[in-house]
Structure formats: structure tokens, C-alpha cells
């Protein structure tokens, strides 16, 4: 789309089959970027691809499991075959199967580490060579308010988001000054998405829904607009962190 801020830019968005990732894909495509949408649910990606293209945008859907290095490498290869470059990575795929630490749900701990940390790193590894070569690029990691403070039942989830914040800060130190790769950590409070529907612990899930049925959480599009803001700045402006709480969230 001519005259739009992200014209001729290519954005790769993980976790684009729902929630924040889906909203970010729509916002960035409307901003003129060609978007590559990745997640495991192929039917949801295909519906989003059609919606973006019907609105005049350009999108490529690549079913991907970010916990598989081979799958992520295929995602990068298919992106480069179609668009020749990756200017932005929106590293958004994440899971949050909360439970009290005493229940020792080690399988859920592994899943959070695999998707939220290992998968995020695999995606960074896949996009870095081209960004380093061009000395240009933007990595947006979707962390969380939980990356600044743990909460009961969220110890391991919070640990993964502390890791995301540390990775963002380290990338910035290593890659921004010389290589001009910008890094943004997006840190939302509560957002109305499918994420909480997958909480296996019934009491945590019920407590969460009871609190937020009375209040207004963020919408995915509220976070997508923050992502659009970060990636639309001129090259010398490195938006480091954006922390966004719903107005009705105090802590």
C-alpha cells in the first residue's frame, strides 16, 4: 500500500492464529507491511491470510511449531523464498498453563520454557543472519507485565517472561549500537485472548475470570497498536520497552 509507514517492509509474526499475534498481523498489514503469519493452527492462519488479502494487504501463511528448530528454519526459508528478506520479527507465540508450584506440573513448566523461551530464541536465530548482513532489522519480543513481577500460580510463566526481558536487553546491547538491529520488549498486563482459557488449574482459571468479568481488560488490538508504534519509528529511534496495563489493573 503506497504511502503507508511500513511500505516494502516484511514482518514475520509468530502466534498469529489468535489474540495479539492476529491483531498485530492485521495492524502491520494495514500499515503496508507484507506479513508472514505463523502458528500451528493452519485453518486459522488461512482465514487470516484471506482476510488480510481481501483488505488489500499481502500475507503468507506458514504453519509452524516454534518449539521445532526444523519448523522455524522452514518458516524462515519459505519467507525468504517469497519476499527475499525479513525486516521485522514479532516474536509473540506463547503459552500460559498456570498452576501452583506445589502441584509440580513439570510437563507444563517444560511447555512454557519450550515455547516462550526456546521457541523465541529459535526465531531470533532464524532471522539474524539477514539482519546482520543488512545492518538493519527490528525484533519485537512479546514479554509480559509478569516479566517484571511474579504472581501466585505464575512462577514459571513469570520466569519465562523475565527471560524474555533479559534476552531483549542483551540483544539490544549486542546488536543495536553497531548492527542497527532494534529490539523492543512489549509488556502487556491482562489482555482478553484465548490464553487464559488454557489454564489447567480450575481454581486459578475461575478466580481470573471472576476478577476480569467485572473489569475491562486490554483488547488484542490495544497491544497491536503499541507494536505498530514501535516498528514505525525512524531507524535511529529504538523503542526499548512498552509496558501497558488495563486502566482497571492496579498491580
Ligand X SMILES: NC(=O)c1ccc[n+]([C@@H]2O[C@H](COP(=O)([O-])OP(=O)(O)OC[C@H]3O[C@@H](n4cnc5c(N)ncnc54)[C@H](OP(=O)(O)O)[C@@H]3O)[C@@H](O)[C@H]2O)c1
The residues that touch ligand X, with contacts defined as CB under 6 A, are: 14-21, 39-41, 64-67, 92-96, 115, 119, 142, 144, 188, 190-191, 193-195, 220
CB of 179 to ligand X, least distance (A): 25
**Closest CB to ligand X among 30 and 190?**
190
Cα 246 to Cα 218: distance, rounded to the nearest angstrom: 5
CB of 37 to ligand X, least distance (A): 9
**Closest CB to ligand X among 130 and 154?**
154
**Closest CB to ligand X among 4 and 71?**
71
Beta bridge partners of 243: 187
Cα 120 to Cα 113: distance, rounded to the nearest angstrom: 10
Cα 3 to Cα 1: distance, rounded to the nearest angstrom: 7
CB of 237 to ligand X, least distance (A): 24
**Closest CB to ligand X among 114 and 136?**
114
- Helix runs in the chain, H state only: 19-30, 42-54, 69-83, 106-112, 120-134, 155-175, 202-212, 220-231
**Closest CB to ligand X among 135 and 151?**
151
**Closest CB to ligand X among 65 and 105?**
65
Cα 130 to Cα 187: distance, rounded to the nearest angstrom: 27
Helix 120-134 and helix 69-83, axial crossing angle in degrees, nearest 10: 40
Per annotation, catalytic residue among 83, 109, 122, 157:
157
CB of 190 to ligand X, least distance (A): 5
Q: Is 122 a catalytic residue?
A: no
Which of 79, 177, 166 has its CA nearest to residue 126? 79
Which of 189, 196, 194 has its CA nearest to residue 44? 194
Neighbours of 106 (CB within 10 A): 9
CB of 189 to ligand X, least distance (A): 6
What would the DSSP string read from start to end of 82-114? HHS---EEEE---------GGG--HHHHHHHII
CB of 240 to ligand X, least distance (A): 17
Residue 199 DSSP class: -
Question: Would you name the residues annotated as active-site residues?
Answer: 157
Amino acid at each position: 500500500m503506497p504511502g503507508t509507514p511500513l511500505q516494502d517492509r516484511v514482518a514475520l509474526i509468530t502466534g498469529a492464529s489468535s489474540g495479539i499475534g492476529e491483531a498485530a498481523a492485521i495492524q502491520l498489514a494495514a500499515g503496508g507491511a507484507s506479513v508472514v503469519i505463523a502458528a500451528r493452527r493452519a485453518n486459522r492462519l488461512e482465514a487470516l491470510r484471506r482476510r488480510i488479502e481481501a483488505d488489500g494487504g499481502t500475507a503468507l501463511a506458514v504453519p509452524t511449531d516454534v518449539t521445532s528448530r526444523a519448523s522455524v528454519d522452514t518458516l524462515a526459508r519459505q519467507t525468504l523464498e517469497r519476499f527475499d528478506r525479513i525486516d521485522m520479527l514479532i516474536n509473540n507465540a506463547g503459552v500460559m498453563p498456570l498452576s501452583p508450584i506445589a502441584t509440580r506440573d513439570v510437563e507444563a513448566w517444560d511447555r512454557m520454557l519450550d515455547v516462550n523461551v526456546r521457541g523465541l530464541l529459535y526465531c531470533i536465530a532464524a532471522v539474524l543472519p539477514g539482519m546482520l548482513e543488512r545492518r538493519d532489522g527490528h525484533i519485537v519480543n512479546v514479554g509480559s507485565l509478569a516479566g517484571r513481577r511474579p504472581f501466585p500460580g505464575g512462577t514459571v510463566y513469570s520466569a519465562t517472561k523475565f527471560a524474555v526481558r533479559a534476552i531483549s536487553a542483551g540483544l539490544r546491547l549486542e546488536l543495536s549500537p553497531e548492527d542497527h538491529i532494534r529490539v523492543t520488549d512489549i509488556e502487556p498486563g491482562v489482555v482478553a485472548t484465548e490464553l487464559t482459557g488454557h489454564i489447567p488449574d480450575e481454581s486459578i482459571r475461575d478466580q481470573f475470570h471472576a476478577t476480569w468479568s467485572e473489569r475491562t481488560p486490554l483488547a488484542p488490538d490495544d497491544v497491536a497498536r503499541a507494536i505498530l508504534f514501535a516498528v514505525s519509528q525512524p531507524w535511529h529511534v529504538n523503542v526499548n520497552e512498552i509496558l501497558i496495563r488495563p486502566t482497571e489493573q492496579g498491580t
